[in-house]
A and B are shown apart, each in its own frame.
Chain A
Amino acid sequence: MIFARVAGRITSTIHHPGLEGRSLLILDKLDRGGRPAGGSLIAVDTVGAGPGEMVLVLDEGNGARQILGGTDLPVRSVVVGIVDYLPD
């Protein structure tokens, strides 16, 4: 999994049928200290992550399809957890 922060969201009317009703978040990748590591990605939200929250992102297709259901979902990145804090 990778570590990221919610930076925004996108809306989309025309998309793959498997994404119907799914929430798409824009995430900034973070390093181990919670600082931006450069790069962003779009992931499907399954946990209700809010603006600015640190999240865990599963970045692998088979796991993503297991979580979301369906065998033909074109999704690799799924938000699977919200991080409370990073112990030192």
Chain B
Amino acid sequence: MFLGRVMGRVVPAVVCEGLQGVPLLWVQPLDKNSRPEGRPMVCADGTRMAGPGEIVYWEASREAALTLTPSFVPVDHAVVGIVDTIQLDELPGQEPVPGGAP
């Protein structure tokens, strides 16, 4: 799984069977310091509760579809959970994280 930030919602006009009513979100992948990393993508929201601005964790490939019920759906990225806190360990020899994690 990987970290991401919800940037917005996507409202489809027509979807495949099994995807009706599933929220779709724009998600910007983040590194462990909550900095953007890579290109944004559309994720199905397995929690059905994530909203813009929230930090989430997401999964790709077959495991993404397993967040939904039924799980045999054409989904390749999905939000698995909403992050409450990120605690990074301060290890010797490492620079402190600029700005810190939320």
CA distance A12 to B46 in the complex (A): 14
By the criterion CB–CB under 8 Å, are A14 and B82 in contact? yes
Q: B78 — which chain A residues lie within 8 A by C-beta?
A: 74
Which residues of chain B (1-54) have a CB below 8 Å from chain A? 1-3, 31-32, 46-47, 49-50
CA distance A26 to B88 in the complex (A): 8
By the criterion CB–CB under 8 Å, are A7 and B80 in contact? no
Contact-residue bracket for chain B: 20 to 34
By the criterion CB–CB under 8 Å, are A16 and B84 in contact? no
By the criterion CB–CB under 8 Å, are A75 and B1 in contact? yes
CA distance A9 to B3 in the complex (A): 12
Min Cβ gap A21→B in Å is: 13
Contact-residue bracket for chain A: 20 to 34
Min Cβ gap A37→B in Å is: 14
Q: A13 — which chain B residues lie within 8 A by C-beta?
A: 82, 84
Which of these, B59, B81, B83, B85, contacts A76 with CB under 8 Å?
Answer: B59
Q: A10 — which chain B residues lie within 8 A by C-beta?
A: 3, 57, 83-87
By the criterion CB–CB under 8 Å, are A42 and B63 in contact? no
| 16 sample A-B contacts, Cβ–Cβ < 8 Å, listed by A number | A7-B88, A10-B83, A10-B85, A11-B83, A11-B84, A11-B85, A14-B50, A16-B46, A19-B80, A24-B57, A28-B32, A52-B91, A73-B63, A74-B63, A75-B63, A76-B63
Interface of A toward B, CB cutoff 8 Å: 6-16, 19, 24, 26, 28, 40-43, 51-52, 61, 64, 72-77
